[in-house]
Amino acid sequence: MTNQVNQLHYFLPPYIIEKIIERGSPKQKERALIALGISKQIRDRRESRPGVVLSGITAAPGQKKRLIYDAGFGSDLPGALVRSEGDASTGDKAADEAYDGAGLTYDLYNDIFGRNSIDGSGMKLVSTVHYMQGYDNAFWDGEQMVYGDGDEDLPQEERLFNRFTIAVDIIGHELTHGITEYTARLVYQDQSGALNESFSDIMGILVKQRSLGQKAEEADWLIGAGLFTSLIKGKALRSMKDPGTAYDDPLIGKDPQPGHMKDYVKTTSDNGGVHINSGIPNSAFYWTAMETGGFAWEKAGKIWYIALRDKLNETSDFQDAADKTWQTAVSLYGKNSQEQQAVINGWKKVGITVKTDKKIHCIDKIRNWFRT
């Protein structure tokens, strides 16, 4: 058993450890608990992950370390360093927006959720602006955030996209992809991919609302507002409040997002429609936040973050997300609380019934015990 204990936290998945805790001898239970605690430490630190190189420099807890690079409209990353933590504004709007947005996102996670940067251990926040020419996109590449300038290479009268740092929720969105990579690692395909996208939209919108001091009922719940130029008939890229209504334009078409499971889009494009079907969990969050009221990050945001951090896994689907956010709400606020009811109601609005008869897994109880 000794060798098995040494291996437990490296090779055995949590559900097997859970079985040992439930059915093992007292000694086996003791060792499984120890292994689970070690697993949690490893998961939090993410020291060894194939294909991902951890940033070399880490900041002290609660201190952000932002590095902004300029790709000079080329494709080499990260580019030339133009602003470091604590430096004065550069005067370059994209660079300064990336700097400020990363800071606001860091502050949401640190101040509200107690998370020190992307990896939970003070990972530096690297952003590159002016990526390529006419690049109408922003993305997380596994180590950093990358932002294009839209279609700045076109004449003004033909431009559809502004720079992708223009909306702080876009920055929060991309940075959150990094956090998802260090927590639930939702596979970027089909429903798990749509959840991945949804968590990024959710956290991005919370960054925006917090920066504006807005309560749930005061906010517009629009993702990417300001990204489109006036040539596009649309208020934003996505609407969490009313999926499918953000834009309707003869050039780019109509916002395709569904807001209910009955309208779920089955497609092979876009990794199974991850940017499309994210409208469903986005809406579930919106309704939950509206029912809990106040600042959305305080309760709904906290529930969703802890579910992402502790409960969801690579293949979680919408049903699993509904069940786990509910379980999180129960753990935080009690099984008869208004908050857990708000989660149930939020998911019900989008056509998903939370399985309240499911027991909170033993594994989650144990994790709660070890949670700092």
Partner 1 sequence: MTVPIIIEFERAGGYAGLSLRNTVDSHFLSTEDAEELGRLLNEAGLPELKKEINLPESSPDQFKYTLRIQMGEEQHLIQLAEPQIPSSVRPLLKFLTKRSRYKKENKDRP
List, by residue number, the catalytic residues.
Answer: 174, 275
Helix (H, G, I), strand (E, B) or coil at 369: helix
Q: Is 369 exposed, middle or buried (0-12, 13-18, 19+ CB in 10 A)?
A: exposed
Residue 190 interacting with partner 1 (CB under 8 A): no
Tokens encoding 167: 């909306």
Angle between helices 300-310 and 362-370 (to 10 degrees): 100
Q: Of 8-16, 104-112, 268-276, 301-309, which part binds partner 1 (CB under 8 A)?
A: 268-276
Angle between helices 338-349 and 300-310 (to 10 degrees): 80
Choose, by CB under 8 A, the member of 237, 240, 280, 350 that binds partner 1. Answer: 237
Element (H, E) at 66: strand 66-70
Residue 177 interacting with partner 1 (CB under 8 A): yes
Residue 276 interacting with partner 1 (CB under 8 A): yes
Residue 170 interacting with partner 1 (CB under 8 A): yes
Nearer to partner 1, 195 or 330 (CB): 195
Nearer to partner 1, 278 or 325 (CB): 278
**In the complex, what is the shortest distance from the CB of residue 56 to partner 1, in angstroms, rounded to a whole number?**
20
Q: List the beta strands (DSSP E) in 177-278.
A: 222-223, 238-239, 248-249, 253-254
d(CA 366, CA 372): 12
Q: Cβ(283)–Cβ(262) under 8 Å?
A: no
DSSP string covering 68-130 = EEE-TTSS-SS-EEEEETTPPP-S-HHHHHHHHHHHHHHHIIIIIT---STTSS-B-EEEEES
Residue 173 interacting with partner 1 (CB under 8 A): yes
Residue 242 interacting with partner 1 (CB under 8 A): no
Residue 252 interacting with partner 1 (CB under 8 A): yes
Residue 274 interacting with partner 1 (CB under 8 A): yes
Q: Cβ(184)–Cβ(313) under 8 Å?
A: yes
Residue 264 interacting with partner 1 (CB under 8 A): no
Tokens encoding 173: 């969105």
**Which of 209, 362, 364 is CA-nearest to residue 295?**
209
120 Cβ contact partners less than 8 Å away, ≥ 6 residues apart: 44, 45, 46, 182
**In the complex, what is the shortest distance from the CB of residue 160 to partner 1, in angstroms, rounded to a whole number?**
5
Nearer to partner 1, 270 or 317 (CB): 270
Place of tokens 């504006």: 212
Choose, by CB under 8 A, the member of 136, 242, 263, 298 that binds partner 1. Answer: 136
**In the complex, what is the shortest distance from the CB of residue 138 to partner 1, in angstroms, rounded to a whole number?**
5
Choose, by CB under 8 A, the member of 5, 93, 139, 345 that binds partner 1. Answer: 139
Tokens encoding 219: 């906010």
Residue 160 interacting with partner 1 (CB under 8 A): yes
Nearer to partner 1, 256 or 301 (CB): 256
Choose, by CB under 8 A, the member of 13, 142, 294, 334 that binds partner 1. Answer: 142
Nearer to partner 1, 107 or 141 (CB): 141
Residue 337 interacting with partner 1 (CB under 8 A): no
Residue 239 interacting with partner 1 (CB under 8 A): no
Residues forming the site for partner 1 (CB under 8 A) = 75, 77, 133-134, 136-142, 151, 154, 158, 160-161, 164, 170, 173-174, 177, 180, 188-189, 196-197, 200, 224, 227, 237, 251-253, 256, 269-271, 274-276
